[in-house]
């Protein structure tokens, strides 16, 4: 059996997402936060005597950079040095992530600045720089 934490408890016709944890993991959630529309879920937990925060974001297709920046601001107190943020940002964070038609606009630059100030890194981009 697995622990299952859905982004929405009663998702009817809309897709959602979840954080699933194997039952053999020493996992004890201490805090769960989610928004009413199911765009994010944050779990703060104790795992093997370490505090860990997992934030899964499914940003809306329009206004994604502003939405993500606002989520990071709202959850700033919960995001510590052991935070993992995953999900679908629905926005390119670098030139390498964009299609040829997309431009890196000011709101994306502001989001990147907020990520940098929060000491967050894009681990995929570090492992795959090109």
Range in 25-29, 39-43, 59-63, 124-128 the model is least confident about: 25-29
Evaluate if residue 1 carries a pLDDT over 50: no
Q: Would you tell me how many other CB atoms lie within 10 Å of the CB of residue 21? A: 17
Q: Which CATH number fits domain 2-127: 2.40.50.100, 3.40.50.300, 2.120.10.30, 3.60.10.10?
A: 3.60.10.10
State residue 71's pLDDT score: 93
Give residue-wise pLDDT tens across range 53-92: 999 999 998 999 999 999 999 998 888 888 899 988 888 7
Q: Kindly report the average pLDDT of the chain as a whole number.
A: 81
pLDDT exceeds 70 at position 121: yes
DSSP string across 66-100: HHHHHHHHHTTTT--TTEEEEEE-SS-SSGGGS-T
In the chain, where the domains are located? 2-127
């Amino acid at each position: 059996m697995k622990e299952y934490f859905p982004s929405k408890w009663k998702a009817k016709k809309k897709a959602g997402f979840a954080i699933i944890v194997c039952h053999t993991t020493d996992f004890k959630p201490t805090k769960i936060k989610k928004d009413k529309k199911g765009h994010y879920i944050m779990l703060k937990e104790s795992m093997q005597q370490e505090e860990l925060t997992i934030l899964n974001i499914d940003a809306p297709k329009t206004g994604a950079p502003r939405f993500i920046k606002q989520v990071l601001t709202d959850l700033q107190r919960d995001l510590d040095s052991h935070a993992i943020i995953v999900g679908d940002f629905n926005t390119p964070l670098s030139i390498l992530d964009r299609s040829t038609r997309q431009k890196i606009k000011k709101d994306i630059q502001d989001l990147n600045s907020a990520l940098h100030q929060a000491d967050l890194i894009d681990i995929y981009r570090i492992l795959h720089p090109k």
